[in-house]
Amino acid sequence: MNTRKTFRMDGRTIPFEDGQSIIDAALAAGEYIPHLCHNPEFTPHGSCRVCTVDVDGRMVSACTQPAAEGQQVVNNSDPVNHYRRRLLQMLFVEGNHVCPGCEKSGACQLQAVAYYTGMLAPHFTHFFPRREVDASHPDTVIDFNRCILCELCVRASRDVDGKNVFSISGRGIQSRLIINSNTGRLGDSDYDRADKAASVCPVGAILPKHQGYEVPIGERLYDQRPISVVGDVAQAKQGDNGDG
């Protein structure tokens, strides 16, 4: 008997398993919901709110909201995308994002989601915070200017690497990424470039050292096709290389 539960999203019927979040069910069905702090490999975090959708008239984050039978979800609409753009604009002005000089450009989720949602300008006044670059580790550089506090490195180091190298300190607008070592520098922590935490940063905050533009412009993940097609939605759709 086929009794799979379903909800409706933008006119499509999406099946889900009990306990699955809206975003995971949508990704599995090949439907992209913009997101930054969510990574299907990790427990949901719900901090960036970029995955906000309208569920039966309420704005909720799709990564923390369990899917339920018969829900009416609005994902790709003007009002929802407008709200997302505002969130993205705040992320851009809170840090220092100089995309033209950033090694992550073209492979950066923040940039790609901004393109996807049609963000054209930062809208808000830039904070221009003074933040450091930590290049004390021989293999990895941390550019705090680009950190969006998604906590993926925190989660990866804690849950996968079992190291707790990263943490968030402070509250509200004072929140910042810190490193668990005597000096507060990465080079003095037990971080290793083989750690899961080394490869989960969705932006250009954690990057390998000594590498700048070895992959030419035009050959990066989001250069050719939008994140809605080639991001984790492509992996979630097993056997489908993102052509759908």
Partner 1 sequence: MTDRLETAANPEGLNRVVIEPLTRVEGHGKVTLLQDDDHHIHQVRLHIAEFRGFEKFIQGRPYWELPVLVQRLCGICPVSHHLAAAKATDALVGCEALTPTAEKIRRLMHYGQVLQSHALHFFHLSSPDLLFGFDDDIAHRNIFGVIEDYPEIARQGVLLRKFGQEVIRVTAGKRIHGTGAIPGGVNKPVSGEERDYLLADVRQMIEWGQQAVELTRRIFMESPDYHREFAGFDSNMLSLVAQDGAFELYHGGLRALDENGATLFDHADCQDYDRLLHEEVRSWSYMKFPFIVKAGQRDGWYRVGPLARVNNADYFPTPLAEQEAQSFRELDAGRPVQASLAYHWARMIELLYCAEAIGILLEDDDISGTELVRRGEMQHRGVGVIEAPRGTLFHHYEINDDGLVEKANLIVSTTHNNQAMNEAIRQVANRYLDGKELNEGLLNHIEVAIRAYDPCLSCATHALGKMPLEVRLVSSGGELVDRLVKSPAGEVAHGS
Contact with partner 1 (CB under 8 A) among 20, 76, 89, 136? 136
Measured from the CB atom, the residue of 33 and 110 that comes closer to ligand SF4 is: 110
CB closer to ligand SF4, 44 vs 95: 95
Exposed, middle or buried, 212 (CB in 10 Å: 0-12/13-18/19+)?
exposed
Query: By the 8 A CB rule, do 63 and 98 touch?
Result: no
Task: Find tokens 């080394």 and name the residue.
Answer: 198
Binding mask 147-186 for ligand SF4 (x = CB under 6 A): ----------------------------------------
Binding to ligand SF4 (CB under 6 A): which residues in 81-140?
A: 97-99, 102, 104-105, 108, 110-111
3-class secondary-structure state, position 203: coil
Which option in partner 1, ligand SF4, none does residue 217 bind, with CB closer than 5 to 8 A by kind? partner 1
Q: 78 is written with which tokens?
A: 């003007």
With CB under 8 A as the rule, give the number of residues binding partner 1. 21
Distance CA 152, CA 154 (A): 5
Q: Do the beta carbons of residue 168 and residue 149 sit within 8 Å?
A: yes
Judged by DSSP in three states, 23 sits in helix
Q: Which is nearer to ligand SF4, 27 or 148 (CB)?
A: 148
User: Measured between alpha carbons, how far is residue 62 from residues 10, 94, 109, 216 in Å?
Assistant: 14, 24, 17, 34
CB 26 within 8 A of CB 14: yes
The residues, ordered by sequence, that sit 6+ positions from 170 with a Cβ below 8 Å of its Cβ are 176
Q: Which of 19, 57, 162, 212 binds partner 1 (CB under 8 A)?
A: 212
For the CB of residue 70, give the shortest distance to ligand SF4 in the complex, in Å. 38
| Residues at the interface with ligand SF4 (CB under 6 A) | 97-99, 102, 104-105, 108, 110-111, 146, 203-204
| Residues at the interface with partner 1 (CB under 8 A) | 98, 100-103, 132-133, 135-136, 141, 187, 209-218
